[in-house]
Structure 1
Amino acid sequence: MAFGLFKKKREEKSEIPSVKAGHLNLTVQKVVNETADAISIYFEQPTAGKINYKSGQFLTLIAEINGKKERRAYSLCTSPFVDSHPAVTVKRVEGGLMSNHLGDKLKAGDQLEVLEPIGNFTTTFDANNERHIILFGGGSGITPLMSLAKSALNQEPKSKISLIYANRDANSIIFKTTLEQMEMENPGRFKVVHVLGQAPSDWKGHKGFLTQEIIKQALETLPHLTPDQTEFFMCGPGPMMDIVEQSLSNLDIPKAQVHKESFTSDAGKKKEKSADDNKIIAREVTVIYDGEEYKYTVEPGETILEKGLDQDIDLPFSCQSGLCTACRGKCVSGKVKMDEDEGLSEAELNEGYVLPCVSHPLTDDVVIEIG
């Protein structure tokens, strides 16, 4: 049932990339098997114009599976400075609709609907920079780190890049050959420290799960620059990143120098701890998107995005867990409660940005502008 919904027909989106998130129809250039359960999907550049993206960002792939359009966000593993074709890496997840669909059926020449690249897990490259970029990766978390490493090596000749990469076993190392080649081509500038949970008997590297002690030992083998010349980027399973964060905190690394990309959300845990059920009641919200205004009522237990989609409003979204920021909007009036805000920077939060996919209205005058 619609609650005072105002809706107008939207114009078709162009294939030309723009600053605003939109839809692209991309042709698959090739599919590369990285490991037994991971593939990289390379796309042809659109004839209307080259896709502009930043290292560390992601694409949202849209595919019809069992009669329903599914969306999943996948990080770009390529560098806009190095690679002619943008690519994402997809690792199969047990029971995962999209990852198994792509792994089983996708081939060169196929077309995929894709949302334009977005994401804040980035950095600005400058040829004058002389810094040490230390990357922590776990499993498929290597994907955006690979993009950052390639770009840093290409754009900052004075900088050094180190990667501490944890995997289940040697066969699980995504980009293994590429990483070895990058080390050979950049002696003294690029170093990889592998950590294997199940290591072969002749393995000379770190063994077991990534621990604070292993992190401490690994950091001692890396090039040393002053603290203000070092930046840290991490991406991988939540428990791994918790260990990395604690280790860096123990070393008194300022939070401003630590950047994190999450593939999974703690929204459920946060909601259980912080939800104020007395304030979350049915309230009308106004959402402004692409110049159109929509009004509808959000019930308790619903998010602003969920109800908008139920009303057949074509709002942008991807992960629906507060991580990817595809749905990001600015709350220009009223107040909302977010179950998860990890995807937003402190500056964005201060400016009033919210994530409708995990937001509930707390006042009767909520107005959110998206795009």
Structure 2
Amino acid sequence: MKSYTLKVQEIRTETDDTVTLCFKQPGLKKIKYLAGQYLTLQFRISGRRYIRPYSFSSTPLIDSTLDVTIKRVPGGVVSNYINDTVKVDDVIEVQEPLGDFVFKSDESIRSVIFWGVGSGITPLFSMIKDLLVNNSLNIHLVYGNKSNSSVIFKEKLEELKMTYSDRFQVHSFYSKEEFFIEDSHNYRGRINADFVEKLLQDIQSPSQHFICGPIGLKNTIKESLTKLGQSLDNVFSEDFEIVKNPEDFKDIYNREILLNFQGFDNKITINKGNSILEEALETGIELPYSCQTGNCSTCKGIVLSGELKMIGLEKPRTDLANNEYLLCCSYPLTDNVSIKIQ
């Protein structure tokens, strides 16, 4: 995997707990990416290496810098470090852009609906700008926040609404807003099934849907679409965490495995509930990784013996060989597991 060293050209404050890092593009060979993809940042904090993926909020061929937007997370080592410590002219190591949460042209599509909550707006914002400039589709953004002051990209979204008023609408939900002006595009509470069904009845079909937010939002959208008899083939979601079902761990126990990395054998105890990647990082073995949700192949390992089980994959991976596993979502089923990292 390619890596780059980028300089922070600007830091924009989006809200009280969210900043955008604007990286200067390399002078000779520009980094290419697609709207909706993510950039993986690497930091060393208190002696430990941390790697985190953050969605682009910039758009290729529209924005001159490479922008990622980071919201502070309670207890989040990296997000807090970025918000508190990173400054202009800092140099940060990043991995090449990844991700398949991108718009794919389809001549039959008439409308695109983006569904987001909080910082889930980041990849959606990148794609919205791209579609508004380079396409003629009708665009709807359904965006949930606690309050008006917590809306990320608020001014930029208003500008886009004015510029593309004929085909871009924003539907805002506020769960805790005290001073609230109700109109046809402002709503109290959270995004709900009744609204989903009403909106879908009013837009041009067929449509594509892009979701970035908590699991509850994704379930609400998919269940509503199914109820209306619409196909889920045009529904895409971005996930930055693995949803673990306790039922999947019934046959998982604490086991010791052998992990060969960079020519060295390491014996590691994998505690029930923790993935092989998680335990390796905790013991100080700096394995390669990126998304941590089973969507990329950065943490792929080859099983030499024993059996593993992958848990939490959103979609099946047909590109892996029978002995290849993604360690971010892999758990040992037997006591003789031996894995090699290429």
TM category (shorter chain) comes to: 0.7 to 0.9
**Separation (CA, whole Å) in 1 of partners of 2:322 and 2:165:** 43
Corresponding residue for residue 147 of structure 2 = 169
Partner of 2:221: 244
With the length of structure 2 as denominator, give the TM-score of the two structures.
0.85
| Aligned counterpart, 2:234 | 257
| Cα separation, 1, equivalents of 2:110 and 2:317 | 24
Letter matched to residue 215 of structure 1: V
1-structure distance, mates of 2:7, 2:289: 22
- 1:60-99 map, 5 Å: 60-99=40-79
Distance 1:352 1:152 in 2: 40
Residue equivalent to 1:141: 120
Q: After the TM superposition, which residues 1-371 of structure 1 pair with which residues of structure 2 at under 5 Å, given as runs?
A: 20=1, 22-125=2-105, 130-157=109-136, 159-199=137-177, 200-204=179-183, 205-221=186-202, 223-226=203-206, 230-267=207-244, 270=245, 272-277=246-251, 281-284=255-258, 296-301=266-271, 303-306=275-278, 308-309=280-281, 314-318=286-290, 320=292, 322=293, 325=296, 327-329=298-300, 335-342=307-314, 344-345=315-316, 347-348=318-319, 354-362=325-333
User: What is the CA–CA distance in structure 2 between the aligned matches of 1:37 and 1:309, rounded to whole Å?
Assistant: 28
Per-residue CA shift, 1:224-266, capped at 9, x if unaligned?
A: 123xxx1111001222222222222222332221111123332
Letter in 1 for 2:101: F
How far 1:30 moved relative to its partner? 0.5
Distance 2:303 2:286 in 1: 21
Task: Quote the Cα distance in structure 1 between the aligned partners of 2:58 and 2:239.
Answer: 19
Worse-superposed segment, 296-305 or 100-109: 296-305
Distance 1:153 1:346, change over 3 A: farther
Does the 8 A contact of 1:141 with 1:236 survive in 2? yes
- CA, structure 1 residues 284+63, in 2 after alignment: closer, same or farther (shift >3 Å)? closer
Change (3 A) 1:92 1:278: closer
Unmatched 5+ residue regions in structure 2?
none
Residues 19-41 of structure 1, C-alpha deviations (whole Å, 9 max, x = no match): x3x33211001011111211111
Residue 339 of structure 1: CA displacement? 2.6
Pick closer, same or farther for the CA change 1:295–1:154 going to 2, 3 Å: farther
**Judging changes above 3 Å, is the alpha-carbon distance between structure 1 residues 275 and 202 closer, same or farther for their aligned structure 2 residues?**
closer
Q: Within 2, Cα distance between the matches of 1:130 and 1:274?
A: 37
Secondary structure at the aligned position of 1:255 is classed as coil
2: CA distance, partners of 1:163 / 1:195: 11
Distance of 1:102 and 1:95 partners within structure 2 = 13
Which letter maps to 1:166? G
**1:301-360 residue CA offsets vs partner (Å, 9 max, x unmatched):** 26433465578654321454x256363437587752123212x55544798864212212
Q: Deviations over 1:114-136 (max 9, x none)?
A: 2222122123347x675321110
User: Residues 168-205 of structure 1, C-alpha deviation per residue, up to 9 Å, x if partnerless?
Assistant: 11111111111121122223222211111134243322
Distance across 2 between alignment mates of 1:56 and 1:352:
31
Report the TM-score, using the length of structure 1 for normalisation.
0.79
Q: SS of the counterpart of 1:31?
A: strand
8 A Cα contact 2:110 2:204, kept in partner: no
Contact 1:130/1:156 (8 A) holds in 2: no
* SS of structure 2 residue aligned to 1:98: helix
1:154, CA displacement in angstroms?
Answer: 2.6
- The answer (yes or no) to whether the contact 1:304–1:358 under 8 Å persists in 2 is yes
> Could you tell me how far apart the structure 1 residues matched to 2:297 and 2:283 are?
19
How large is the RMSD of aligned CA atoms in angstroms? 3.0
Q: Structure 1 pair 136/107, CA: closer, same or farther in 2 (3 Å)?
A: same
Shift of 1:140: 0.5
Query: Is the 8 Å Cα contact of residues 309 and 315 (structure 1) preserved in structure 2?
Result: yes
Higher mean C-alpha deviation, range 160-169 or range 187-196: 187-196
Paired-residue identity, %? 31
The alpha-carbon distance between structure 1 residues 368 and 216, as it changes in their structure 2 partners (threshold 3 A), is farther
